[in-house]
Structure 1
Amino acid sequence: MSDERATSFGAAAGDYEASRPDYPFEAVAWMLERLPLESRRVADVGAGTGKLTRVLADAPGSEVIAIDPDAAMLAKLRESVPGVPTFLGKAEKLSLPDASLDAVVLGQAWHWVDPVTASAEIGRVVRSGGTLGLIWNLRDDSVEWVMRLTEIMRTSPAAGMFEGDGPTVAAPFAELEANDWRWVRPMTRARLHRMADSRSFFITASESVRRSIHDDMDALFDELGVHGDATVDLPYVTRAFRAVRD
């Protein structure tokens, strides 16, 4: 997988924050429900602009830190979720003490990491009985126009992972449990374009490819009648996973 794509998001941090969806609280609560309510020391790894961080910060009893390899993304996170400590780092190398956390969670990020190395490193910083949580907001491509939109914007490493066996974790974590939530998000044409602009394929593409993507998106939105401030409901499936550290 391309390191360039994995570390490209800071160039579009504003588009990412403005266009990417937050995570349903119910899904985040489910990932952490095995932890005691009174003490939840949680690291959001691959935190980006804080889409998952802000939901974690609202969970009862949570003490949250945010970690990402991109300083530009963390700068946007500090604007969006003030007061949460931020650190540069990645899942395979965390500058944290052994057994110092109750949980590590990754939103929209596990497909960018080496699962064996990341599982071992996260297992080092999570106490025995603690949780590894993984979560994705996935567009529902079973809807015809959404499938066409995905084809225009190109597939992602996350989509490729779910077309296969899905995410995997390694020792010291047990087998993943999974759960899904379905919901819709009203989107204007402008916000849909910003969503495309925030994707790693678009960020790293040539200018001609970028223009072609926007032109094809506009043709689709014209067909759907999405103009100006009009919105279309973009369906999502939030897919969450949790595993317990041995």
Structure 2
Amino acid sequence: MVTIPPSPRPEPHLHRRMAESFGVDPERYDRSRPPYPDAMIERIVAAAPGADFLDVGCGTGIEARQFRAAGRAVLGVEADPRMAGFARGTGIAVEVATFEAWEPAGRTFDAIVSGTAWHWVDPVAGAAKAARILRPGGVLAPFGHVYQLPPPIAAALAAAYRRVVPDSPLVLDERPPGSILDAYQGLYARAADGIRAAGGFGEPELWRYDWERAYTPAELSELVSTSGGLSTLPPDPAARILSAVGAAADECGGTVTLPYATWGLTAVRTDGEVRR
């Protein structure tokens, strides 16, 4: 996977160019990105005291449609108007803004969810704002997917990336199988720290769902094309990198099954004071 280089205190929410690059092709993004586990949707629905949900960084509306199908009323907030436009086309109400700048205008919610997007929000300021607009007993629930490429495909992707864009500030993860799935716990541990610092919530509960999905070489190339590093590249270098991914998938025998981990947490709004 293409990632921001590691640092002692990573701040993904400051990388706005990458955060707002995914809307280059909303149709492809929506088609390629998988939905969230049904058990996770059910868990969050059961934790919320009511049906009014706010989806932060709703993108094309993947999880918003899942919560709507579960009987929830969902309002999306999305910084990219291209993604917001696609979500509206599927029947999701969306307001265009970053969560930090978005104006709730007196509205409150039973749940605030965020699918593979909360790391683009300031972890403390976002949690504090969530606390202010959640009803008593309301739940904050950020979550997200991560997948692990088979080693031969990960190596081909890394080699192509270094060959085509050698001066890029991004790096490629080539860690052993399983480690990327485990490492993404850090994003949600960091979100939990932000919630604790903001105040107004009970102790966050961290959780994980493991599952798999099979891809053809074409489907896998399309999925990889929606990653943050590739979505910021011009079409020609991106196509050259994706060609290498497709070729490596062919050499692996065609259909490739990827292990996924969906990490997330739930934190319940209490009567405690919001400190930030």
Give the TM-score normalised by the residue count of structure 2. Answer: 0.75
Displacement of 1:222 in angstroms is: 2.4
CA RMSD of aligned residues (A): 2.6
Q: CA deviation at 1:144?
A: 4.0
Paired AA for residue 46 in structure 1: G
Distance in 2, Cα, partners of 1:195 & 1:102 = 32
Q: CA separation in 2, counterparts of 1:221 and 1:123? A: 45
8 Å Cα contact 1:177-1:241 kept in structure 2: yes
Quote the Cα distance in structure 1 between the aligned partners of 2:157 and 2:120: 19
In structure 1, distance between residues paired with 2:155 and 2:226: 18
How far, CA to CA, are the matches of 1:124 and 1:95 in structure 2? Answer: 12
Residues 1:188 and 2:205 are matched in the alignment: no
Which 5+ residue runs of structure 1 have no aligned equivalent? none
TM-score normalized by the length of structure 1: 0.84
1:235 equivalenced with 2:243 (yes/no): no
Contact 2:141 2:264 in 1 (8 A): yes
Q: Is the 8 A contact 1:134 1:240 kept in 2?
A: yes
Residue 112 (structure 2) pairs with residue 104 (structure 1):
yes
What residue number does 1:49 align with? 60
- Give 1:14's aligned residue: 27
Distance 1:13 1:181 in 2: 26
Asked if the contact 2:153–2:245 (Cα under 8 Å) also holds between the matched residues in 1, the reply is: no
Measure, in 1, the Cα distance between the counterparts of 2:157 and 2:186: 14
Match of 2:146 in 1: 138
Deviation per CA, 1:156-186: give whole Å up to 9, x if none.
xx98754575533322233321222222112
Matched, 1:27 2:51: no
Distance 1:150 1:213 in 2: 7
Instruction: Select between 8-17 and 172-181 the one with higher mean Cα deviation.
Output: 172-181
Counterpart in the other structure of 2:99: 91
User: CA distance change for structure 1 residues 134 and 211 in 2, over 3 Å: closer, same or farther?
Assistant: same
1:105–1:134: 8 Å Cα contact kept in structure 2? yes
Q: Could you say which residue in structure 2 is the equivalent of 1:167? A: 191
Give unpaired runs (5+ residues) of structure 2. Answer: 1-13, 162-171, 174-179, 271-276
Distance (whole Å) between structure 2 residues aligned to residue 149 and residue 28 of structure 1: 35
Residues of 2 paired with 1:202 and 1:181: CA distance?
26
- Cα distance change on mapping 1:105 and 1:146 into 2, 3 Å: farther
Aligned to 2:16: 3
CA contact 1:13–1:198 (8 Å) conserved in 2: no
With over 3 angstroms needed to count, the CA separation of the structure-2 counterparts of 1:148 and 1:59, relative to structure 1, is farther
| Matched letter for residue 218 of structure 1 | G
CA distance in 1, matches of 2:239, 2:24: 18
Find the aligned partners of 2:93 and 2:220 in 1 and give their Cα distance: 31
